[in-house]
Structure 1
Amino acid sequence: MQVWVDADACPAVVKEMLFRAARRVEVCVTLVANQYLRTPPSPFIKSIQVPSGFDVADARIVELTEAGDLVITADIPLAAAVLDKGAHALDPRGNWFSRENIAERLTMRDVMDQLRSTGIETGGPSPYSSRDSNTFAGQLDRFLARHRKA
């Protein structure tokens, strides 16, 4: 099992939690981004820089992800693609993507895109909060604990 991170838009606090978890449970965490990312020295933490371009990092994550891996992303199409491969997907706010909710999330994303394309202001996500951080940390810890027992 490996943890893949869609790192371009991942909050720094989430990356720090993942770095600590990697060292604590000795799981490989790989950040994928189209820019250089500094990571702490550890045999369990690495980064992959991909060329700039639309969804290049997402495509690389899908290519490298295997069944049972964990992908950290807020990108709904990426989550859908890794779920199709048998991986798990968790957003940085601690919400799980699943077979039961991914179709609805994709539909809602498409509706919002259509509204924005007509000029309607839809707003954006709320600012990342300490509550989001705590929820993510709890979900990550529970997942890693279950995986270690398996």
Structure 2
Amino acid sequence: MTAIYIDADACPVKDEAAKVAARHQLVVTFVSNGGLRPSRDPMVRHVVVPAGADAADDWIVDHAAENDVAVTADIPLAARLIEKGVHVLGPSGRAFTPNTIGMAVAMRDLKQHLRETGEIKGYNPGFSARDRSAFLSALDQIVRRAMRSSKE
């Protein structure tokens, strides 16, 4: 059965992901270093990993399986999950696929270099109601695709 994994530290769409999971009667697992309020819903799991670089990422990679769905803004994590056949979506609603992940990694590396050299600032744009709506639609579509793929 398809499951949804959320890289929950600083994820702006946790509530939206829980709504989509409930609509499809899927378990959603929020993975973080702490600070999340537990849910009473038995279909919502919270996993708190030890503090440390990539602890949440490693947990998600270890537990996600082919045709699961993951939500993350972390490009290296997205690349690791795609290798396992996981359907990956960013909080903006942008899908990461085997065809797009290479460019996403390259752009991430370029932007990191430009920030380190002072060429650009590290500001992220605000997250709007329109972004939330786009994410909801994209997550619903990717969940449906994952569920169809898992039945084949």
Above 0.5 in TM-score? Answer: yes
CA separation of 1:67/1:148 partners in 2, compared to 1, >3 Å: closer, same or farther?
A: closer
Question: What is the root-mean-square deviation of aligned Cα atoms in Å?
Answer: 1.5
Cα distance between partner residues in 2 of 1:127 and 1:135:
14
Aligned to 1:106: 105
2:85 is aligned with 1:86 = yes
Residue 66 (structure 2) aligns with: 67
> Does structure 1 conserve the Cα–Cα contact (< 8 Å) formed by 2:68 and 2:146?
no
CA contact (8 A) 2:34 2:49 kept: yes
Alignment CA distance shift 1:148-1:105 (3 Å)? closer
The equivalent of 2:28 in structure 1 is 29
Give percent identity, aligned residues only.
Answer: 39
| Cα shift readout 1:41-99 (whole Å, capped 9, x = no counterpart) | 11210110001111111111111110001000011000000000010100111100011
Match of 1:7 in 2: 8
Aligned length: 148
SS at match of 1:100: coil
Task: Give the TM-score of the pair, scaled to structure 1.
Answer: 0.91
Cα distance in 1, alignment partners of residues 59 and 147 from structure 2: 26
Structure 1 portions without partners, runs of 5+:
none
Cα 1:16–1:144, aligned 2, differ >3 Å: closer, same or farther? same
- Contact 1:34-1:49 within 8 A present in 2 as well: yes
Q: Give CA deviations for 1:103-146 in whole Å, capped at 9, x if unaligned.
A: 11101111111112222233432111111101001111223334
Q: Distance in 2 between matches of 1:139 and 1:47?
A: 23
1:27–1:44 CA contact under 8 A, matched in 2:
yes
Give unmatched runs, 5+ long, in structure 2: none
- Greater RCO (Cα-Cα under 8 Å, separation 6 or more): 2
CA distance in 1 between partners of 2:96 and 2:123 (Å) = 19
- C-alpha distance in 2 between matches for 1:146 and 1:80: 19
Alignment check: 8 A CA contact 1:112 1:122 kept: no
Aligned to 1:30, the other structure's residue is in SS state strand
- State how 1:40-59 maps to structure 2 within 5 Å: 40-59=39-58
Correspondence for 2:76: 77
Matches of 2:21 and 2:103, distance apart in 1 = 32
How far apart in 2 are the matches of 1:145 and 1:81?
22
Q: What's the CA shift string for 1:4-45, capped at 9, x where partnerless?
A: 00000101xx21112222222210100000013213211210
- CA distance in 2: counterparts of 1:24 and 1:109, whole angstroms: 33
